[in-house]
Amino acid sequence: MSEKPKKFSRRKFIGLGIQGYTGVQLAQGLPLSLLASPSCTKSNAKTVHGACYHDCPDSCSWKVTVENGEIRDFGGDKDNPFTAGKLCDKMETFPQDITFHPDRILTPLKRTGIKGEGGFEKISWEQALKEVAQKLKSSVDTHGGESVLPFGYMGTQGLIQKAAMSQRFFTKLGATNLAETICGAPAIAGNKVANGQVMGILPEDILHSRFIILWGTNTKHSNVHLWPFVLEARNRGAKIIVIDPFRSATAMEADQHIQLMPGTDVALALGMMHVIIKEGLTDDAYIEKYTLGYDALKVHVQEYDPFTVAAICGIEEQIVIDFAREYATAKPSLIRYLIGMEHNSNGGDAFRSVGMLPSLTGAWRDHGGGLMHFTYELFGKAVNYERLDMYTELAENETRWMNMVQLGTLLNDPDLNPQIKTLFVFNANPVVTIPNQNLIREGLKREDLLTVVVEHFVTDTAKYADYIFPATTQLEHWDVADSWGQVYLNLNQPAIEPMGEAKPNSEFFRLLAKEYGFNDACFDESDIEIAKSFFDTDHPYMEGITFDYLKKNGWARLKIPEPYIPHAAGNFGTSSGKCEFYSASLEDSGQALPVYKTVSAENVGKYPFHLLTVKATKGFHNSSHGNVKHLMETEGLPTLDMSSEDAQSRNISDGDEVIAQNQNGSVVLRARIKDRVRPGVVLMPHGYWPSLVKGNATSNALTNDGLSDLGGGAALQDCRVEVTKSSG
Ligand SMILES: Nc1nc2c(c(=O)[nH]1)N[C@H]1C(S)=C(S)[C@@H](COP(=O)(O)OP(=O)(O)OC[C@H]3O[C@@H](n4cnc5c(=O)[nH]c(N)nc54)[C@H](O)[C@@H]3O)O[C@H]1N2
Ligand SMILES: Nc1nc2c(c(=O)[nH]1)N[C@H]1C(S)=C(S)[C@@H](COP(=O)(O)OP(=O)(O)OC[C@H]3O[C@@H](n4cnc5c(=O)[nH]c(N)nc54)[C@H](O)[C@@H]3O)O[C@H]1N2
Ligand code: SF4
Ligand SMILES: [Mo]
């Protein structure tokens, strides 16, 4: 049917790998021009198109100049209007930092020492696959397929390397399914209860907005390529308001920062509704035609008067009133949210209640007004994802689901039937990114657990592996990148041959399937074949966008008819087709209307501070890049933000070493007393590697694995700690 992947001779790719490896291992962070060897006489330079693999709304397009098999130049694609020629700071040096990192794993490894200590020896692919397949088979024969937990997440979000082949393997095996809830689940669930979908306006249309609320999103750091559009909108007259308990990089640049207490957004949204309704600032015609449950909402929000709401949120009553008025009267007025406030036990209702506001005021009618959330639903319509979902073709039975947020609890639960006996970790670093780090480590230490990790590095998770397999990076494999934050589709082509013995995730699972004895034709499908299958569609958004077009040009914007004003006339994705203020389907769980519930209210006496652990660094992407020397140097030691009032009460000064501690663990930090949080709140950045900081513990050593109200997400921010000055 289609092209097979290019086969490299083993000698050739080891040769190139080593050449590249030794060439740059002394030079992490140096510009590529300084790394290029001047010895090439005959130029065969070519440009290879690619795209960033990170779990990031921007999905940037890049170009790689390759000469004689080596990378000469790497950077954002200038022709793509969204990437606009610039990757984010951490990705500008991606080849040196990740692909050519001196610590990168280039052969399979087998554990030699105690789990967690990181002792490994090299082993051949052939032998490692044989041993893993044998052990897996014997375990599955005894305990059943559901004793296998595939813990694969968003280390790469490319359509092929994220899960195309692994999904087939684990479905065929009858493994437990992983509910991927740590990011986005409550945000999606909450918005969907009200609006039936998560797609709002297109990112570029923020230029038309004149009142922009960045609600719990740190755009300047976490959505870097939307930020210039926000600034341009301000140039054109927009006011920028940030709602965040943290004076984030974005809040610092806003025209107004509403610094509410964490987890109180539901109350603020309901309080705004109270004012808007009371003052007659509603769009009654819009409400009448395109919404459901207004009468119930009207009664419900009576109890959320500005005085009550101000007390809950810890802000002034007048701010609630003025903000509601301004929001309702400005035109076009836009709320931008992503996931920031979802990591609370009331996170789902926060997204839901905030997501109702545009229907109350009719903001959806205006070009540039309404809500801006995720864009992935547009790709869902346009791209053919059939080859990703092979469930009916391969599954013998439906198998159970387990929530990734509770990995620690699951690994340590003796009553699970069956218990988890084999854990595959790929595209993820759960010891750092999943709540309750110490409980996860306890589970990973189990001698009766087979842990197989596919990675670039011996991460804090991989240290517990029985086998580690070396994965390729985005410069070395094929992939197709859709997006959840913009509307460009990218084809990522390999720019260089794989380093050492690294292989794409897809190839790992292909080989393991063969070794295990799975002979279904789908395990023979190559990455290029899978890539081509995504373009097998006649949806109008994909007009002219073919595999060959992207092979030549790298990226294309979905052909979405403009102006795109999705809900000017209702057209919501709910079963009623309307924005549902009242949700009959949630009556049984007592959630027919969003209700403010207190968060983080336990153990207040023992642990007086509400701890936030957020993506506050520029240099790390979750835990990715957390082992890159120059980025670690730029970020410095992990900090704990405290208010001066709280610091004074504990005799803590700026720069002091402090310990944040609770029932789950303790973390060593450097106090930062810059009043970026309010009294009672402390905040530390997420992403540092435990093994690279003092105390071998990071943010998730303190977080709990409780769940959010909707979507089964992580209530990470429902967390309390005590803070003391370190004695040294
Ligand atoms: N306390 C706290 N915890 C959080 C958050 C928070 O704000 N606070 N944020 C949460 C959010 S939003 C998210 S999305 C999660 C992210 O959690 P994770 O998905 O675990 O993210 P990373 O830490 O980046 O780990 C990804 C790993 O995948 C590896 N990787 C990259 N590309 C490939 C590849 O092609 N193949 C293989 N095999 N591996 C690859 C990288 O080396 C890296 O170690 O963290 C969550 N955890
Ligand atoms: N530099 C960098 N960029 C990234 C990432 C990264 O790790 N580093 N990760 C990527 C990923 S995986 C994701 S999901 C996106 C997420 O991007 P965002 O949706 O912007 O989410 P976060 O950065 O987790 O949090 C945003 C803000 O929410 C605030 N917040 C916390 N609790 C509350 C609350 O109760 N109410 C309100 N109103 N605000 C609250 C935090 O203080 C923080 O400043 O970013 C992506 N971009
Ligand atoms: S991490 Fe995000 S902003 Fe940075 S290059 Fe990748 S997609 Fe672009
Ligand atoms: Mo995320």
The DSSP secondary structure of 318-383, one letter per residue, reads HHHHHHHHHHHHSSSEEEE--SGGGSSTTHHHHHHHHHHHHHHHTGGGSTT-EEE---HHHHHHHS
What value, to the nearest 5°, has the Cα angle with vertex 282 and ends 277 and 285?
Answer: 135
Distance 58 CA to ligand 3 centre (A): 6
Specify the residue with its C-alpha closest to ligand 1, atom 44.
429
Which of 244, 241, 235 is closest to 217 using CA atoms? 244
Distance CA(325)–CA(668), nearest Å, equals 44
Distance CA(147)–CA(449), nearest Å, equals 10
Distance CA(693)–CA(312), nearest Å, equals 36
Distance 721 CA to ligand 2 centre (A): 21
- Report which ligand 2 atom has the smallest distance to the Cα of 618: 1
What value, to the nearest 5°, has the Cα angle with vertex 555 and ends 553 and 559?
Answer: 115
pLDDT score at 200: 97
Q: Are residues 120 and 109 in contact, defined by beta-carbon separation less than 8 angstroms?
A: yes
pLDDT score at 652: 98
Distance CA(66)–CA(72), nearest Å, equals 6
Distances (CA, A) of 167 to 46, 388, 511: 34, 7, 14
Output DSSP code: residue 691: G
Q: What share of the chain in percent tops pLDDT 90?
A: 92
Strand ranges (E), 42-134: 46-51, 61-67, 70-76, 109-111, 120-122
For the full predicted model, state whether its pTM sits above 0.75.
yes
Specify the residue with its C-alpha closest to ligand 1, atom 39.
427
Q: Which CATH number fits domain 104-180+385-477+498-537: 3.30.420.590, 3.40.190.80, 3.40.50.740, 3.40.50.10540?
A: 3.40.50.740
The architecture of the domain spanning 200-373 is: 3-Layer(aba) Sandwich (3.40)
Instruction: Output the six-digit token pair for 321.
Output: 């009133």
- Report which ligand 1 atom has the smallest distance to the Cα of 626: 23
**How far separated are the first and last CA of the chain, in Å rounded?**
66
pLDDT score at 31: 54
Q: Is 99 in the pocket of ligand 1 (CB under 6 A)?
A: no
Distance 570 CA to ligand 2 centre (A): 29
Q: Which ligand is nearest to the CA of 187?
A: 2
In three-state secondary structure terms, 156 is coil
- Beta-carbon count within 10 A of 410 CB: 21
Q: Are residues 326 and 211 in contact, defined by beta-carbon separation less than 8 angstroms?
A: yes
- Report which ligand 3 atom has the smallest distance to the Cα of 88: 4
Q: Are residues 426 and 155 in contact, defined by beta-carbon separation less than 8 angstroms?
A: yes
pLDDT score at 15: 26
Sign of CA dihedral 550, 553, 554, 559: negative
Distance 426 CA to ligand 1 centre (A): 10
Distance 100 CA to ligand 3 centre (A): 19
Residue extents of the structural domains in the chain: 104-180+385-477+498-537, 200-373, 609-725
Q: Are residues 660 and 728 in contact, defined by beta-carbon separation less than 8 angstroms?
A: no
Distance CA(265)–CA(315), nearest Å, equals 12
Residues of the chain where predicted confidence (pLDDT) is lower than 50: 1-27, 34, 36-40
Q: How many helices (H) and strands (E) does the chain have?
A: 26, 27
Domain 609-725 bears CATH identifier 2.40.40.20: yes
pLDDT score at 603: 83
Distance CA(603)–CA(615), nearest Å, equals 25
Specify the residue with its C-alpha closest to ligand 3, atom 8.
60
Which of 557, 559, 555 is closest to 62 using CA atoms? 555
pLDDT score at 601: 77
Q: Is 615 in the pocket of ligand 1 (CB under 6 A)?
A: yes
- Beta-carbon count within 10 A of 137 CB: 14
pLDDT score at 25: 35
Q: Residue 641: which H helix or E strand, with range?
A: strand 639-641
Distance CA(376)–CA(131), nearest Å, equals 39
Distances (CA, A) of 524 to 1, 2, 514, 518: 12, 12, 9, 10
Distance 184 CA to ligand 4 centre (A): 7
Instruction: Output the six-digit token pair for 692.
Output: 């690279």
Q: Are residues 324 and 313 in contact, defined by beta-carbon separation less than 8 angstroms?
A: no
In three-state secondary structure terms, 213 is strand
- Beta-carbon count within 10 A of 58 CB: 26
